[in-house]
């Protein structure tokens, strides 16, 4: 007849094996989820531990008991590492460094070898004795230094894994937080009785750890059925962040209540011209004061425009981050690139003005002179003068139409930049203007060959600039085109000794057109848009001695193939 104490132990073994069978069925259906394989391996190790423990209770030979205990140690050794790998897989955390696994391997090997070589070595077991559990018997083990080294290593991995879970529990909300709490509770169910037993304060003569693992495994099953432990978990959120936030076209960064940047995605870092390492952890007004000022002045959820260091325009939207318990904790700032939209709006506004003002006025002039030519009382000189004016004005309108066609051809949003041999383009432009304006004196200097990245219609850019200098430079203008190649950029300076571009024309280009303030034509807008399309810069230096227009374009890489345009 089984004794009073032994009956509960036998019952515990039976219940544990039944629980492991249930959990094994559960994990087999979840084997494709992060952490499920590691948890399944833990289940196998602890289940085997329970079976071996039951076998040890069934025999009375001390030698047989020792042999079975030595086998049990093969089940115990992988548990800390499997737990840590489970937490790493489940939370998506960084794996343990190779050096950490090397230390663990040395300690674990010494732990198993010390048990196998007892009594020749007493580094793990200092003494072994048989104690009674009712009518059953088990071993009582004195513990050596290697035993405690392995115990410390095990508690370190268990504790480290618990800290990682705790971090996820802090950052998670709702069900995800409950999931991490359930896992932490399962670990405490195992560690508390194990620690009590190894410290010698447990009121039991046998190791309760495998039976505590039974309760822990059942907690995992309950956590999955109630909270979807393996249906939604922190790793899924991190994957979503990686594939959604990290790959978003829009820039996004987060600031807390103290205006400190806590996170930023690559799109925002590129837009702001900063590295994540430089901005995260610092106050926004310290690293980007202009943007901080714009954000402070903007109403919540209403976009404000920000001109970024990369010369692009962004709609900046501020959305509060709030917690149901603690209120607003910070803000999410979204940067939406509206550069192309603003430029298209600008082009539409200019073309609308051309249609309403320049073309309409030009046609009115043509119509007036044409009517004068048909007057029966008009003399031949008047008719000849009117015909010349009609011809001149018609040529101007045709030239304007050609520029508009250039805009339509080369300035849509799908136009791509390409590599261009610049000196050949400039040579073609200078030669054509020299033929059309024989009184002008033109010169071109620079390297024999230089390849730049520019719009496919880059010739129209320099054609407008050089021709404008010849047309408005006086009776015999001197025009010098000089090309310099320096530090990845190619500078093209077009200098003339004419009266210069009126300041009010340049101010309109910088500020944008209105009904009352606009340029006298479309030439300046065309060159400005073509430079933008080429991802370059343009500057006008107007003085009493003339005008110098400086266009800067990116130099192409050495292995790029140039295209003749």
Chain segment 29-63, per-residue pLDDT in tens = 666 666 777 877 887 888 788 778 878 877 888 89
For residue 321, the model assigns a pLDDT of 74
pLDDT of the residue at 3: 40
> Is the pLDDT reported for residue 411 higher than 70?
no
Tokens 């006298």 belong to residue: 520
> Mean pLDDT score of the chain, rounded to an integer?
76
> Taking a C-beta distance cutoff of 8 angstroms, is the pair 302, 216 a contact?
no
| 8 A C-beta contact, residue 362 and residue 397 | yes
What pLDDT does 514 receive?
47
Query: What pLDDT, on the 0 to 100 scale, is given for residue 196?
Result: 84
Q: Do 254 and 332 contact (CB within 8 A), yes or no?
A: yes
Q: Which of these, 256, 304, 243, 316, lies nearest to 284 by C-alpha position?
A: 256
> Could you tell me the strand order of the sheet in which 441-445 lies?
441-445, 478-486, 489-496, 546-554, 537-543
Q: In the β-sheet with 251-256, what is the strand arrangement from edge to edge?
A: 261-264, 251-256, 327-337, 313-323, 304-307
Residue 250 Cα distances to 246, 262, 314, angstroms: 10, 17, 9
What gap in Å lies between CA 543 and CA 519, rounded to an integer?
Answer: 20
**Cα–Cα distance measured from residue 142 to residue 128, given in angstroms and rounded to the nearest whole number:** 6
Per DSSP bridges, beta strands 478-486 and 441-445 are: parallel
pLDDT category of residue 109 using cuts at 50, 70 and 90 = very high
pLDDT category at 225 given cuts 50, 70, 90 is low
Given a cut of 70, whether residue 256 has pLDDT beyond it is yes
Partners of residue 537 on adjacent β-strands? 552
Stretch 535-556: mean pLDDT = 86
Looking at the chain, the whole-number percentage of residues with pLDDT higher than 90 is: 12
**What is the average pLDDT across 291-313?**
73
The 8-class DSSP code of residue 124 comes to: S
**Cβ proximity of 272 and 251 under 8 Å:** yes
The arithmetic mean of pLDDT across residues 495-511, rounded, is: 66
Residue for token digits 């005008």?
A: 547
pLDDT at 5 exceeding the cut of 50: no
Determine the CATH number of domain 249-337. Answer: 3.30.450.20
279, pLDDT greater than 80: yes
Q: Between residues 217 and 66, which one has the greater pLDDT? A: 66
**Residue 173 near residue 13 (C-beta atoms within 8 A):** no
| Contact (Cβ atoms closer than 8 angstroms) between residue 89 and residue 38 | yes
Task: Say yes or no to pLDDT of 294 above 60.
Answer: yes
Q: Are 242 and 325 in contact (CB under 8 A)?
A: no
Catalogue the long-range contacts made by 368-376 (C-beta closer than 8 Å, 24 or more residues apart): 369/393
Alpha-carbon dihedral sign for residues 14, 18, 19, 23: positive
161 contacts 83 by C-beta, under 8 angstroms: yes
Q: Using CA atoms, how far apart are residues 58 and 13, in angstroms rounded to an integer?
A: 12
Region 497-524: mean pLDDT is 58
**Higher per-residue confidence, 311 vs 194:** 194
- At residue 473, φ and ψ (nearest 5 deg) are -90, 5
**What is the distance between the alpha carbons of residues 1 and 24, in angstroms, rounded to a whole number?**
33
Phi, psi at 26, each rounded to 5°: -65, -45
pLDDT tens figures, 339-398: 777 767 666 666 666 666 667 777 777 888 788 788 877 787 887 888 888 888 788 778
Which of 429, 422, 407 lies closest to 533 in space, CA to CA? 407
Q: Are strands 125-133 and 136-143 parallel, antiparallel or unpaired?
A: antiparallel
Q: Which long-range contacts (CB under 8 A, 24 or more apart) does 291-295 make?
A: 291/316, 292/259, 295/333
Average pLDDT over residues 263-273: 85
CATH level 3 topology of 415-565? Heat Shock Protein 90 (3.30.565)
Q: How confident is the model at residue 265 (pLDDT cuts 50, 70, 90)?
A: confident
**CA distances (Å), origin 441, targets 430, 431, 473, 491, 545:** 10, 11, 11, 21, 16
In this predicted structure, what is the pLDDT of residue 424?
Answer: 92
Share of the chain above pLDDT 70, in %: 72
Q: What is the CATH number of domain 6-237?
A: 1.20.1070.10
Collapsed DSSP state (helix, strand, coil) of residue 345: helix
Q: Which of 94-108, 161-175, 249-263, 480-494 has the lowest mean pLDDT?
A: 161-175
Digit-coded pLDDT (tens) for 440-462: 899 999 998 999 988 877 888 88
Q: SS3 for 247-308, per residue?
A: CCCCEEEEEECCCEEEEECHHHHHHHCCCHHHHCCCEHHHHCHHHHHHHHHCCCCCCEEEEC
Confidence of residue 518 (pLDDT cuts 50, 70, 90): very low
């Amino acid at each position: 007849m089984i004794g009073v104490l032994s009956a509960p132990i036998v019952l515990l073994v039976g219940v544990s094996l039944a629980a492991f069978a249930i959990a094994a069925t559960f994990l087999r259906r979840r084997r494709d989820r992060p952490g499920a394989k590691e948890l399944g391996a833990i289940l196998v190790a602890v289940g085997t531990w329970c079976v071996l423990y039951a076998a040890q209770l069934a025999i009375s030979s001390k030698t047989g008991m020792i042999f079975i205990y030595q086998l049990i140690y093969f089940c115990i050794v992988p548990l800390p590492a499997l737990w840590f790998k489970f937490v790493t897989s489940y939370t998506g955390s960084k794996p343990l460094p190779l050096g950490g696994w090397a230390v663990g391997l040395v300690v674990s090997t010494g732990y198993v070898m010390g048990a196998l070589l007892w009594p020749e070595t007493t580094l793990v077991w200092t003494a072994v004795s048989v104690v009674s559990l009712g009518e059953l018997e088990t071993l009582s083990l004195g513990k050596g230094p290697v035993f405690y080294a392995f115990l410390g290593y095990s508690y370190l991995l268990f504790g480290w894994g618990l800290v990682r879970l705790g971090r996820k529990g802090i950052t998670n909300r709702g069900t995800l937080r409950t999931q991490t709490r359930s896992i932490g509770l399962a670990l405490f169910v195992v560690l508390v009785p194990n620690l009590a037993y190894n410290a010698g304060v447990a009121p039991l003569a046998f190791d309760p750890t495998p039976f505590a693992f039974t309760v822990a495994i059942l907690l995992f099953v309950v956590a999955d059925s109630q909270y979807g432990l393996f249906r939604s978990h922190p790793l899924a959120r991190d994957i979503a962040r990686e594939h959604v936030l990290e790959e978003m076209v829009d820039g996004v960064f987060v600031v807390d209540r103290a205006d400190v940047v806590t996170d930023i995605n690559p799109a925002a870092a590129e837009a702001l011209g900063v590295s994540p390492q430089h901005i995260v952890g610092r106050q926004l007004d310290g690293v980007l004061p202009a943007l901080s000022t714009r954000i402070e002045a903007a109403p919540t959820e209403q976009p404000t425009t920000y001109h970024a260091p990369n010369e692009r325009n962004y709609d900046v939207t501020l959305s509060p981050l709030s917690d149901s318990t603690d209120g607003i904790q910070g803000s999410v700032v979204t940067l939406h690139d509206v550069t192309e939209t603003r430029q298209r709006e600008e082009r539409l506004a200019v073309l609308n003005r051309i249609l309403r003002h320049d073309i309409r006025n030009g046609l009115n002039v043509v119509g007036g002179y044409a009517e004068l030519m048909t007057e029966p009382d008009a003399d031949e000189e008047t008719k000849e003068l009117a015909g010349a004016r009609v011809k001149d004005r018609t040529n101007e309108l045709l030239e304007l139409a050609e520029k508009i066609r250039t805009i339509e051809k080369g300035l849509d949003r799908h136009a791509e930049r390409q590599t261009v041999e610049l000196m050949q383009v400039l040579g073609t432009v200078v030669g054509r203007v020299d033929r059309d304006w024989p009184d002008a004196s033109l010169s071109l200097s620079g390297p024999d060959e230089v390849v730049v990245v520019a719009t496919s219609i880059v010739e129209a850019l320099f054609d407008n600039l050089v021709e404008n200098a010849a047309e408005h430079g006086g009776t015999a203008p001197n025009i010098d085109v000089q090309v310099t190649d320096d530090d990845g950029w190619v500078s093209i300076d077009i200098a003339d000794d004419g009266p210069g571009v009126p300041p009010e024309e340049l101010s309109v280009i910088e500020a944008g057109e209105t009904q009352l303030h606009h340029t006298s034509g479309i030439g300046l807008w065309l060159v400005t848009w073509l430079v933008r399309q080429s991802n370059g810069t343009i500057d006008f230096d107007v003085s009493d001695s003339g005008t110098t227009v400086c266009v800067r374009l990116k130099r192409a890489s050495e292995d790029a193939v140039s295209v003749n345009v």
